[in-house]
């Protein structure tokens, strides 16, 4: 689950869980913007783009 809804540090725990369970196992399919390439290059080569906001 990406977001915890109970207790302190909900967003931090949710972010760690998201990275471990969703993003890391699929790093070959996911583009990490701006670290992997420009947004235009990622948009043309990866089905999913993740950006820190």
- Which of residues 27 and 52 earns the better pLDDT score? 27
Instruction: Please say whether the beta carbons of 27 and 42 come within 8 A.
Output: no
pLDDT category at 30 given cuts 50, 70, 90 is very high
* Among the listed residues 51, 2, 48, 3, the one whose alpha carbon sits nearest the alpha carbon of residue 26: 48
In a domain, 1, yes or no: no
User: Distance of alpha carbon 38 from its chain centroid, rounded?
Assistant: 16
Residue 33 in this model has a pLDDT that exceeds 90 = yes
The domain containing residue 27 runs over which residues? 10-51
Give the chain's mean pLDDT.
83
In a domain, 2, yes or no: no
In a domain, 4, yes or no: no
Number of domains, the chain: 1
As a whole number, mean pLDDT of residues 19-35 equals 91
């Amino acid at each position: 689950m990406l977001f915890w809804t109970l207790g302190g540090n909900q967003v931090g725990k949710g972010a760690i869980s998201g990275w471990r369970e969703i993003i890391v196992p699929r790093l070959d399919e996911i583009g990490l913007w701006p670290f992997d390439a420009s947004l235009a290059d990622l948009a043309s080569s990866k089905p999913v783009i993740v950006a820190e906001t």
